[in-house]
Structures are given as C-alpha cells and as structure tokens.
Amino acid sequence: MQIDLSGRTALVTGSTQGIGAAVAVALARAGARVGVNGRDERRVAESIASLAVQAPGAELVPVAADVSGDEGAARVAELLPQVDILVNNLGVFGAADPLEITDAEWRRYFEVNVLAAVRLTRLYLPGMTERGWGRIQYVASDSAVAIPAEMIHYGMSKTALLAVSRGFAKKAAGTGVTVNSVIAGPTHTAGVEDFVYELVDRDLP
Ligand SMILES: NC(=O)c1ccc[n+]([C@@H]2O[C@H](COP(=O)([O-])OP(=O)(O)OC[C@H]3O[C@@H](n4cnc5c(N)ncnc54)[C@H](OP(=O)(O)O)[C@@H]3O)[C@@H](O)[C@H]2O)c1
C-alpha cells in the first residue's frame, strides 16, 4: 500500500526508541515531516541521527520536552504549532503488587499515560478540524482488556485511553479527522527489556 503524507506534519510522543521510533520512521518514509519526542535534548538528537539513516531525506524535527506536564506540552506547542498527525505513543509500564501501588503511583500512571495524550489532543484537534483533515492515534495495549494482576495501574491507564479515543472520535465525527486506538501486543523494545529484567528480580503475585 502506498501512503503519501507529503505536506503533513506528524508528532510521535516518546519516539527516541521502541515503538515510537518505528512509527516515526514509517511516517517519515511516507513523506511526513515528523516531530521526534523524548525528554532529553541529546537523546532526541542521537535518535534523529539514527532515524535519518532509516528514512533518508526525511525532515525530522527535534521536540525535546517532557509531555507529561503542562510546561512540556507548552514547549511542544512552541516547537510544532501545527500538527496533522498526532501519535500519542508515550506510555510508562512497570509491575507492582496491586495492594502496594501507592496513590502517587496511580496518579503518575494517569498523568503520563492518559492526561498527557488528552492534553495534546486538546491542543491539536481544533486546528485539524478547522483544516478538515487530521489523524489522532493512541497506543493502547492488550493490558487494556486483559488486565495483568501485577499491572492494574497500567491496565487502567490503557483502558482509559480506549474510552478517551472513542469519545474524541465521536467529537470529531464528520470533520475529516479520525481518532483511533491501537491495541499493541508484546513488542521487544528497550523499555520492555528493562521491565523484564526488573520483573525477574521481584516477588510478584
Ligand atoms: N513494548 C510493548 O510490549 C508494548 C505492548 C503494548 C503497548 N505498548 C505501549 O507502546 C508504547 C511504547 O512502548 P515502548 O515499549 O516502545 O516504550 P519504551 O521503549 O519504554 O520507550 C519509551 C519512550 O518514551 C519516551 N518518554 C518517556 N517518558 C517521557 C516523557 N515524560 N515525555 C516524553 N517522552 C518520554 C522515552 O524517551 P526518553 O527516555 O528519551 O525521554 C522513549 O522514547 C507505550 O505506550 C506502551 O505502553 C508497548
């Protein structure tokens, strides 16, 4: 299938490695200008250098910002005022005994995995609808529907993304903007490697 995204600008959150980096390459190869996002400027620059090899000639824009908070979202808006394709890929994951997940951890999972995506949707959806074209994608997980006992906080955040995407899809219906979630399954990434190493050292249910 040939997809031509030339003239479109995309932002992929959490794209210095893993699934986000792969999505950034695919969008760049299809002709989009792509914002590559991570928290650290140097890591974003290194990632862009490696992604550029995989998508020669692509326009890759460094977007160093922690998108889990207001300030980071404001920085993103400065660096990329117009986005046509928003891929809300950022998500943290980890295992914990369900009875020991603290209120602070529950809040952190909601802030990083859900609210960050909602905030960016609020930022970019109005422009997309005005221009009559846009794509918003959330990266959910099989843990949204098959909740692991040791990852209830993570599962909750991914189930919430299904609700958020469904609601925004209804809001955007008929405007030329589509809003969807993808339920990703286990994927070998650097983040998952860290997670697995951490798991084997812990006593979990
Ligand atoms: N891998 C799987 O098996 C799997 C399965 C189902 C769903 N998913 C979902 O897929 C998505 C990506 O997973 P992954 O395994 O590719 O992740 P990963 O390897 O852990 O990569 C995480 C990315 O997010 C960036 N990041 C972390 N916190 C950030 C923040 N506050 N602001 C901006 N960027 C931030 C990291 O960049 P820096 O460190 O440079 O900031 C990195 O690029 C997540 O939503 C995950 O829940 C993954």
By alpha-carbon position, which residue is closest to atom 24 of ligand 1? 14
pLDDT tens, position by position, 84-104? 999 999 999 999 999 999 999
Provide the residue count of the chain.
205
* Average pLDDT rounded to a whole number, residues 133-147: 98
* Average pLDDT rounded to a whole number, residues 6-14: 98
Please report, as a single letter, which amino acid is at residue 28: A
List 109, 124, 154, 197, catalytic entry: 154
Task: Using the atom order of ligand 1, give the atom closest to the CA of residue 47.
Answer: 40
109 is catalytic: no
HSE (side-chain half, CA atoms, 13 Å) at 191: 17
Q: What is the CATH number of domain 9-200?
A: 3.40.50.720
Residue 110 has a pLDDT of: 98
Q: Is the CB of 39 under 6 A from ligand 1?
A: yes
> Where do runs of H (alpha helix) occur along the chain?
18-29, 41-54, 70-79, 103-110, 116-131, 152-172, 190-200
Residue 204 has a pLDDT of: 54
pLDDT tens, position by position, 19-61? 999 999 999 999 999 999 999 999 999 999 999 999 999 999 9
Residue 205 has a pLDDT of: 53
Residue 123 has a pLDDT of: 98
* Average pLDDT rounded to a whole number, residues 124-139: 98
